[in-house]
Amino acid sequence: MEITYGQIVKAINEKGCKTFGDIQRETEAGTVCGCCEDDINEIIKEHAK
């Protein structure tokens, strides 16, 4: 599954996602193997308000 940086940022900004679990539910990112969890958590730190 290919989830882009932009899709994750959009989920944070428009859907209020604040955790890795929120991002998983909204975009399905990190649901296959979870190896991108650290990267997604960094994006959340950068963009979550």
d(CA 2, CA 18): 20
Task: Confirm if 26 and 48 have CB atoms less than 8 A apart.
Answer: no
pLDDT attached to residue 17 = 97
Taking the domains of the chain in order of start, what are their residue ranges? 5-47
What's the pTM value of the predicted model, to 2 decimals? 0.90
Which of 2, 3, 1 is closest to 43 using CA atoms?
3
Which of 12, 6, 13 is closest to 25 using CA atoms?
12
Per-residue pLDDT of 1-49, as tens digits, reads 799 999 999 999 999 999 999 999 999 999 999 899 999 999 999 998 7
Per-residue pLDDT of 26-36, as tens digits, reads 999 999 998 99
pLDDT attached to residue 8 = 98
pLDDT attached to residue 38 = 97
